[in-house]
Structure 1
Amino acid sequence: MSEARIYLVDDNDGFRDSTAWLLETAGFEVQAHASGPAFLEAYAGERHGGGAHCIVSDIRMPLMSGLQLQEELRRRGIGLPLVFVTAHGDVPLAVEAMRKGASNFLEKPFSDDALIDAIRAAIANARNHAVEAGDDRLARLSPRERQVMDLVVASKPNKIIADVLGISVKTVELHRSNMMNKLGVRSLPELMKVALGHG
C-alpha cells in the first residue's frame, strides 16, 4: 500500500528516472511526466479518490514552465500541494511560486531526505489545511502568522520568508516569536508536531 501518489514533472529524463526510483523506494506511488501539458492531460483523464497526492515539478521547462503549470492548476481548481525543484539561478522564480501558494522549493542538488521530507510536509500541511479544526491553537494565529508558520515548517530561513511575504526580516522575526508564543512551543521540532497535527 503506497503512502501517497507523487506526480513528478520534469523534462530531464535522467533526473526524472532517478527521482522516480528514489520516491518509489521510499514507498510513494509515482507517475512521471516529461512536461506540464503531459501531466495535465493524464490528470484530467484520471479518477481521483481521497488519497494523498503531491506534485514535484521543475520550475524551468520548455512548453510550459513550472509557474505556468501552477497558474493552470489554479485556473482548473486543482489544489494539489506543489513542491518545486530548481537550479540555483531560479530561486527568485521559486520565491514567486511560493507567494502564489507552492508548498516548498528545493535547490538542486539536494539530498534524498530533503526531497522526501519536503513532500511529506507538503502533504501533511495540505491535510492540515483541509481539516483545520484539529487544533484550537492554530485558530489563534493571525493570517500572517499562519503564513510564517507554513514557511518555517517548510524549512525556509527568515530571509526567504521575508522575500516570499514581501516584509522585512525583522518583521518575520516578530511574527515568528508571536506565533511560537501563541502555540506554546519553544523549538522547531515542537512547532512541526503542532503544525502537522501531532502536537
Structure 2
Amino acid sequence: MSVTRVYLVDDNPGFRESTAWLLETAGYEVDAYAGAREFLDDYARQRHGAAAECLVSDIRMPEMSGLQLQEELRRRGVPLPLVFVTAHGDVPMAVEAMRKGASNFIEKPFSDEALLDAIRLACAPRRDAGGPVVHNERLARLSPRERQVLDLVVASKPNKIIADILGISIKTVELHRANMMAKLGVKTLPELMKVALGHG
C-alpha cells in the first residue's frame, strides 16, 4: 500500500515543525514549506506517481495567500486535494475556498484527530459530486443538493457553515439534512458517517 504524501505550507515555523512531526508519526510522508511559492516551485519539479497526495495550507501568508495558491493550482490544472487550516477570523475566506473546491478547512487551534480526519477524508476516492465514494444504492435516492449537504456534514461542517458554502438558509440546510437522513435510513450522525464512508 502506497504512503500518502502531505505537502504542508505554513509560514509559522513552530506550527510547521509540530504538524510535520504529527503527520510523520501518523505514517504520512511530509514535505514542509514556509511559503506558497516555495511549494509551487518544488512541486513543479517533482515527478508525481500513483501515491495519494494532499496539500495542507494556511490561508493567511505573506507574498502569496492560501487562496491565491488554490487559484494557481486550478490554473495549472493540478487536482490536489486541499485542506485549509485557518484562524477564526479567516472562516469567511475558508468558506469561499470550499466553494472553489477545497476539501475542508479546520480552525486553529485544532485537535490532532481533526487534522488527521480531514486529511483522510480529502484523500478518500472521490465521486463526481466531490465527496467520498459510497457503494450504497441508498445514496442514489439523494438529490444533488442533498449529496452536497452530505459531503459537508461528513466534513464536520455545522449547519451555518453549510448554509454559507451552498448559499442557502440554515432552515433549508436542516430540511435537506432531515430528508437525506430519512432517505438513507439513519437517525444519528455516527450512522450517517458509516453510510457516507461506505461502511454502512
TM-score by length of 1: 0.92
Q: CA deviation at 1:187?
A: 1.7
What's the C-alpha RMSD, in Å, of the aligned pairs? Answer: 1.7
Q: CA deviation at 1:2?
A: 6.4
Q: Does structure 2 retain, via aligned residues, the 8 Å contact 1:2–1:28?
A: no
Q: Residue type of the partner of 1:135?
A: N
Q: Residue type of the partner of 1:179?
A: M
CA offset digits 1:7-56 (Å, max 9, x no partner): 10111111111100011011111111111111112111222222221111
Q: In 1, distance between residues paired with 2:136 and 2:45?
A: 36
Q: CA deviation at 1:66?
A: 0.6
Cross-structure match for 2:121 = 121
Q: CA deviation at 1:133?
A: 7.1
Of stretches 147-156 and 131-140 in structure 1, the one that deviates more from structure 2 is: 131-140
Structure 1 pair 69–108 and aligned structure 2 pair: CA distance change class (3 A): same
Cross-structure match for 2:40 = 40
Cross-structure match for 1:60 = 60
1:1-199 equivalences under 5 Å are 3-124=3-124, 127-129=125-127, 132=133, 134-199=135-200
Q: Residue type of the partner of 1:161?
A: I
Q: Residue type of the partner of 1:98?
A: M
Q: In 1, distance between residues paired with 2:42 and 2:135?
A: 34
Corresponding residue SS for 1:129: coil
Which consecutive residues of structure 1, in runs of 5 or more, have no partner in the other structure? none
Q: Residue type of the partner of 2:18?
A: S
Q: In 1, distance between residues paired with 2:193 and 2:165?
A: 20
Structure 1 pair 139–37 and aligned structure 2 pair: CA distance change class (3 A): farther
Q: In 1, distance between residues paired with 2:43 and 2:23?
A: 19
CA offset digits 1:68-92 (Å, max 9, x no partner): 1111111112112111111111111
Q: CA deviation at 1:3?
A: 4.1
Q: Does structure 2 retain, via aligned residues, the 8 Å contact 1:2–1:29?
A: no
Structure 1 pair 50–136 and aligned structure 2 pair: CA distance change class (3 A): farther
Q: Does structure 2 retain, via aligned residues, the 8 Å contact 1:58–1:86?
A: yes
Q: Residue type of the partner of 2:77?
A: G
CA offset digits 1:150-182 (Å, max 9, x no partner): 110011110111111111000000111111122
Which consecutive residues of structure 2, in runs of 5 or more, have no partner in the other structure? none
Q: Does structure 1 retain, via aligned residues, the 8 Å contact 2:12–2:34?
A: yes
How many residues align? The count is 197
